[in-house]
C-alpha cells in the first residue's frame, strides 16, 4: 500500500546526468524535498532496447513511489523517450491514479517554437534518444512547421563521466558532432542538448558552435515547466514535502557515486548516499 502522506519529489536517471536537472529544479523550487535515484549499476540506458529501458524505469519509479514520492521526474532523456508514455498509460492506473510521472522531452519541445526563427532545429543526444525520434514527434505535434534533424553523440557521455570534459581530447568529439549536424541542415538556428550530461560540455560546445546558433539546455525549461505544473495542480503540490531536503540513492557503490556526483553538483558539502537494489 502506497503512503498518502506528503513526500519528496522523485528525480530518476540511469546515472549522473539527471543531477543537472535536479540542480536546475532546486534553484527554482528550493522549498521542496527531493529524492534522487541513479541506476548507476545498469547505466548507460542509451544503447538498451525499449523493453529493457521500460522495465528498468518502471522498477525505479515504483521504488520512488514506495519511498513516499507522489510525483516523479524522469531526469533522463532515454527513459523519457522509451518508457514514460507506457508508464503513464499502463502502470499509473494500476499503482495509483493520483500519482504522476513527468519527463524532460516535452518541456523543451513546448518552448522551442519561441527559440527558433528559421524553424530548423537540431537535436544532439544519445543513440537511443535519436533512434526513438521522441523529440521529432513531440516537436511536430506542437510545431508542425519546424524541421528537426538529429545526430547521436556516443562519446559525449563517457567524456563527462570520466571527467574529461575540459580535456583537449574532448575538442575532436564535440567539433565532429556539431559539424555533422550543421552539415545535415545548415539552416539550423537552435540546437537542443537532448542528454542531461551534455551541459557539462558547454565550454567546448560554445567554442565550435556557428555564430547565430542557440544552444538549448533542458534544465531551466524542465524546472520552469515543473513550477507551472505545480501551480496548476494544487492537489499534487500539496502532497510534496517542503523542508528543502535532498537525499541520494544509487544502485552502485555510494562512495563511487559521491565522487562522480561532484562533477555534476554545485554542492560544497559532502552528500550522503544510500545504496539500494532494483529488480
**How far is Cα 220 from Cα 171, in angstroms, rounded to an integer?**
26
**Long-range contacts made by residues 93-98, C-beta under 8 angstroms, separation at least 24?**
95/2, 95/62, 95/65, 96/2, 96/65, 98/70, 98/235
Please say if 195 is a catalytic residue. yes
What is the model's pLDDT at position 184? 98
**How far is Cα 236 from Cα 71, in angstroms, rounded to an integer?**
7
What is the model's pLDDT at position 77? 93
Among 69, 76, 153, 240, which one carries the catalytic annotation? 76
**How far is Cα 150 from Cα 44, in angstroms, rounded to an integer?**
20
Q: Is the pLDDT of residue 269 over 80?
A: no
Please say if 69 is a catalytic residue. no
Give residue for cell 560544497.
268
| pTM (predicted TM-score) | 0.93
Give residue for cell 563527462.
160
pLDDT digits (tens, 9 = 90+) for 158-217: 999 888 999 999 999 999 999 999 999 999 999 999 999 999 999 999 999 999 999 999
Mean pLDDT score, 133-157 = 96
Amino acid at each position: 500500500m502506497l503512503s498518502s502522506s506528503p513526500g519528496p519529489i522523485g528525480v530518476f536517471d540511469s546515472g549522473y546526468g539527471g543531477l543537472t536537472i535536479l540542480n536546475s529544479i532546486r534553484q527554482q523550487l528550493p522549498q521542496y524535498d527531493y529524492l534522487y535515484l541513479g541506476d548507476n549499476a545498469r547505466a548507460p540506458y542509451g544503447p538498451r532496447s525499449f523493453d529493457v529501458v521500460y522495465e528498468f524505469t518502471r522498477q525505479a519509479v515504483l521504488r520512488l513511489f514506495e519511498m513516499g514520492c507522489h510525483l516523479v521526474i524522469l531526469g533522463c532523456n532515454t527513459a523519457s523517450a522509451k518508457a514514460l508514455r507506457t508508464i503513464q498509460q499502463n502502470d499509473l492506473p494500476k499503482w495509483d491514479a493520483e500519482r504522476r510521472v513527468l519527463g524532460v522531452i516535452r518541456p523543451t519541445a513546448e518552448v522551442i517554437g519561441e527559440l527558433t526563427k528559421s524553424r530548423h532545429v537540431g537535436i544532439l543526444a544519445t543513440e537511443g534518444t535519436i533512434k526513438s525520434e521522441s523529440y521529432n514527434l513531440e516537436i511536430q505535434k506542437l510545431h508542425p512547421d519546424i524541421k528537426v534533424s538529429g545526430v547521436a553523440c556516443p562519446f559525449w557521455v563517457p567524456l563527462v563521466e570520466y571527467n574529461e570534459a575540459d580535456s583537449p581530447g574532448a575538442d575532436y568529439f564535440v567539433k565532429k558532432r556539431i559539424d555533422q549536424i550543421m552539415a545535415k541542415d545548415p539552416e539550423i538556428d537552435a540546437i537542443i542538448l537532448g542528454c542531461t550530461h551534455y551541459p557539462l560540455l558547454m565550454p567546448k560546445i560554445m567554442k565550435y558552435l556557428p555564430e547565430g546558433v542557440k544552444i538549448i539546455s533542458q534544465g531551466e525549461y524542465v524546472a520552469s515547466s515543473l513550477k507551472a505544473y505545480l501551480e496548476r495542480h494544487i492537489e499534487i503540490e500539496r502532497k510534496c514535502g517542503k523542508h528543502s531536503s535532498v537525499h541520494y540513492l544509487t544502485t552502485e557503490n555510494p562512495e563511487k557515486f559521491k565522487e562522480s556526483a561532484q562533477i555534476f553538483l554545485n554542492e560544497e558539502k559532502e552528500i550522503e548516499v544510500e545504496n539500494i537494489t532494483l529488480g
